[in-house]
Copies of this chain bind each other. A is one copy, B any other.
Amino acid sequence: MKQQKRTTIYDIAQKLNLAASSVSRALSNSDKINAETKALVLKTAAEMNYQQNAMASNLRKGNNPTIGVVVPRINQYFFSNIIAGLEEVTFNKGYNLVICQSNELHSREVAGVNALVNQNVSGIVISIAAEQGSSDHLQQVLDRNIQLIQFDRVLEELETFKVVNDNHKASYEAVKHLIDQGYRRIALLEGPQELHIFRERKEGYLAALRDHGFPVQEELMYANAWTKELGAVATARLLDMAIPPDAIFASTSDFAALGVLEVASAKGIRIPEELGICGYSNEPFTEITSPSISTIDQFSIEMGKTIGNLHFQEMENSGMVIKKTVNIKPKLIIRKSSQRL
């Protein structure tokens, strides 16, 4: 297997008795070049199988048309959708996407961000890991004038664009819906409160209770129930109470809601008659459980596109815009698990 040398602009310049600079101009579609020579160059370039060396070009131009993405997990519906939406936008602009997953680990998040900085990417899109630490790595990104866009799980104190769902509102509406359906003891499955999004969801829950004259009962709020397994455990406990809840809002995820559903079904509790359930995220499976699970759609694909557009818009304005927070309005999807009227 021979190591084949790539053909460079010099090779094709030599062949045509031209200067490399002319070849470069032809290839970059400059207007400072004769139309005929341009055509000739293009033709021979194709013949010689020329492909530009992006690294050299980017080094010279001092910028790298790629966007780095750091997410907790690539293979989660929400995140892979964000990426898919983002890719849609970046592809059309000729930008590349470099992906890192933090696995919810701060150290890996830092490593990923640094790798992206080293590559001189034009922007970094991030949703921070559950395990948190110093935000120096992100501050560095800003110092180096790399566009930084946070989404979903954001660090508020950093002055960046943020694309988030209105968690408070979504949560409020979910609880209001449960109240409207006649549920009176509504339990909450909480996520890690270090993450902003979960605090907001809790506040939305509390606000809805307050606004409708319901008492806040500590024993109905169950911390850290954000997987199917933890949701199941939480449900078992809640249903064992002297006066158990008549509805459970799994503000953490649909997976937690699924845990609720399975445990409750196993106990022979009728849903939605005896127990209302609402999840969060509109995972595909919520549509096909029995009963189907009410949930909140976060418009993840649109979010990805919004992030991409924001990046290019900010680039054009070269960072002179005020970094604002874009709120994607989530939508309550009412299904059978919470409809008893």
Contact = CB atoms under 8 A, between A and B. Distances in A.
A142 to B, nearest CB: 10
Contact of A84 (B53, B73, B97, B114): B73
A179 to B, nearest CB: 28
Contacts of A320: 1
A83 interface: yes
A80 B75 contact: yes
A135 interface: no
Contacts of A144: 4, 6, 51
Given A75-B80, A97-B98, A97-B100, 18 more contacts: A6-B144, A49-B143, A51-B144, A53-B59, A53-B118, A55-B55, A55-B59, A55-B119, A55-B120, A66-B98, A74-B80, A75-B84, A75-B301, A80-B80, A83-B99, A97-B99, A284-B285, A288-B288
A118 B319 contact: no
A127 interface: no
A323 B81 CA distance: 34
Contact of A59 (B3, B59, B112, B118): B59
Which 6 residue pairs of A and B lie closest in terms of their CB atoms, listed nearest first?
A285-B285, A75-B80, A54-B118, A75-B84, A80-B80, A55-B59
A128 to B, nearest CB: 17
12 contacts: A1-B318, A1-B319, A4-B145, A51-B117, A51-B144, A66-B98, A73-B84, A80-B80, A94-B115, A96-B98, A96-B119, A285-B285
Which of A73, A80, A114, A258: most chain B Cβ within 10 A?
A: A80
Interface in A60-112: 64, 66, 73-77, 80-81, 83-84, 87, 91, 94, 96-101, 108, 111-112
A319 B99 CA distance: 26
A73 B66 CA distance: 19
A56 interface: yes
Contact of A1 (B80, B81, B145): B145
A53 B146 CA distance: 14
Contacts of A285: 284-285, 288
Interface residues of A, number: 56
B140 A49 contact: yes
Interface of A: 1, 3-4, 6, 49, 51-56, 58-59, 64, 66, 73-77, 80-81, 83-84, 87, 91, 94, 96-101, 108, 111-112, 114-115, 117-120, 140, 143-145, 258, 284-285, 288-290, 301, 318-320
Nearest to A4: B145
A96 B115 contact: yes
Given A115-B96, A284-B285, A289-B288, A74 B83 contact: yes
B96 A91 contact: no
Contacts of A54: 115, 118-120
